[in-house]
Amino acid sequence: MRRLLLLTAAAAAACDQMQTPPDPNVASPAFSPQLCTAGSAGDPTCPLNVVALDSLGAPGARLEFLAKPLGANALSITNMVASSGAAGLFAAGIWLEPTPCNTLEQGIGMTIDLGANTIVELTDLVVPSGAQMCMIASAIGPSR
């Protein structure tokens, strides 16, 4: 019995030392952020950006936000709202980045788990600017 326990402990220690690469993240199709340069949300000079999450496994879900220039190389992402579809929405590690989107990088982003047809406001962000961007998540799908 003692020998079996020692072997089991040694095997467990060996498994703990193995480095498994993280699963790749998922990325939305690239989109061109529409910039808010003046006025109020929804004005022609301050359009709302909408990123559909259907293609990532979250049918009917979407992310909406305003993108305001913040100097030459950054965007202030404000008024960000996530809304779920009929199956809800679970999204972990949400972040935005300019293309080319690096789905192997582990980002630190927001995690949400929404029931069916729910809307939630998210924290404002500052992200690097780019002509095209992606929404990336480490996991996304229906509500858990």
How much is the average pLDDT of 6-22? 41
Please check whether residue 80 is in contact with residue 110, taking contact to mean a CB–CB distance below 8 angstroms.
no
> Residue 137 pairs with which residues in a beta bridge?
26
Residue located via tokens 């630190």: 108
In the chain, where are the structural domains located?
22-141
Tens-place pLDDT, residues 86-135: 999 999 888 888 988 877 766 567 889 999 999 999 989 899 988 999 99
C-alpha dist (Å) from residue 105 to 23, 25, 46, 63, 138: 10, 8, 31, 21, 9
Backbone angles phi, psi at 125, to 5 degrees: -130, 160
Q: Which of 24-28, 72-76, 82-86 has the lowest mean pLDDT?
A: 24-28
Considering only residues 5 and 108, tell me which one the structure prediction assigns the higher pLDDT.
108
pLDDT of 6 over the 60 cut: no
Q: What is the dihedral of CA 11, 13, 19, 22, to 10 degrees?
A: 90
CA atoms of 30 and 1, how far apart (whole Å):
58
Res 4: pLDDT: 33
Chain segment 19-66, per-residue pLDDT in tens? 444 456 888 999 999 999 999 998 999 999 999 999 988 999 999 999
Taking every pair of C-alpha atoms in the chain, what is the biggest distance, in angstroms? Answer: 75
